[in-house]
Amino acid sequence: MTYASVLPPASTPLEKALEQVAARLTDLPAPVRSVWSAADCPETHLPWLAWALAISHWKSEWTTAQKRAEVADAIPYHRRKGTRRAVEEVLARYHPSLRLVEWHEASPRRAPHTFEVRAPASEIPASFLTSETADAIIRDVAVAKPARAHFDFVQSLDLKAGLYLAAGGMGGSFTRADYAAERDTTRDWASLLQTEDGEPIFDGDTQDFLETN
């Protein structure tokens, strides 16, 4: 079958031959064209179609419906790739509690063009966040993130505490008392017998203090 030529009359025989070959390639039968359709591609050929569309996050354990949906979204995904939205879509596929915190949202601020992927330990159980799952999340985020961005995967534990203030009062009164010391000159206390502590010794028989002489 010869196809109508669109080349100018001065075209070479080689150019005309190549035109005819290219025209035949566009006239593919329906079964061949269906291989490039996400809806009609045979299930066994879906991984090859995903490879042709550069779907780097392909998972063999997905259901057929998930695989077809990813193939259909391949070109729109490549348009979103390298944006925050693309990274958040990756995180949502694993767990809704995974959060992206960019450098200007962190406290204190991180270096520009960096971010954290935070996995709250209070919301994501350890049974889910195995080392294999963490590696898969890191691998998929590395593909979806902007090329210049760097990130850390952090398992965080948020703690909250309250601060309460209380005050109390008590009524009272103060009284000032003045005292004056007086020297007792009625007796020579130095002449009395004293204990080791300097206390005078009292004689119970005479009802008086004992003197030294």
Q: To 10 degrees, what angle do helices 131-144 and 84-94 make?
A: 160
Domain count, the chain: 2
Full residue range of the structural domain in which residue 124 is found: 83-158
Q: How far apart are the two ends of the chain, measured CA to CA in Å? A: 157
Q: Which residues partner with 99 through β-bridges?
A: 118
Pairwise pLDDT comparison (168 vs 16), residue with the higher score: 16
Burial class (CB in 10 A: 0-12, 13-18, 19+), 71: buried
Residue 206 lies in a domain: no
Q: Identify whether 60 is part of a domain.
A: yes
Nearest to 70 by CA among 82, 94, 54: 54
Which residue, 80, 98, 118, sits at the end of a domain?
80
Question: Do residues 127 and 72 share a domain?
Answer: no
Per-residue model confidence as pLDDT tens digits over 97-127: 999 999 999 888 999 999 999 998 888 888 8
In a domain, 136, yes or no: yes
**Coil, strand or helix at 76:** helix
**pLDDT score for 74:** 92
pLDDT at 188 over 60: yes
Predicted confidence (pLDDT) at residue 72 exceeds the cutoff of 90: yes
Domain-located, residue 166: no
Same domain as 73, residue 28 = yes
Q: Has residue 31 been placed in a domain?
A: yes
- 16 with 27: CB under 8 angstroms? no
Task: Please say if the pLDDT value at position 67 is more than 60.
Answer: yes
Residue 28 has pLDDT above 60, yes or no: no
Q: Is residue 181 part of a domain?
A: no
Residue whose C-alpha is closest to residue 98's, from 148, 55, 140, 159:
140
Q: Are residues 15 and 58 in the same domain?
A: yes
Instruction: Please check whether residue 211 lies inside any domain of the structure.
Output: no
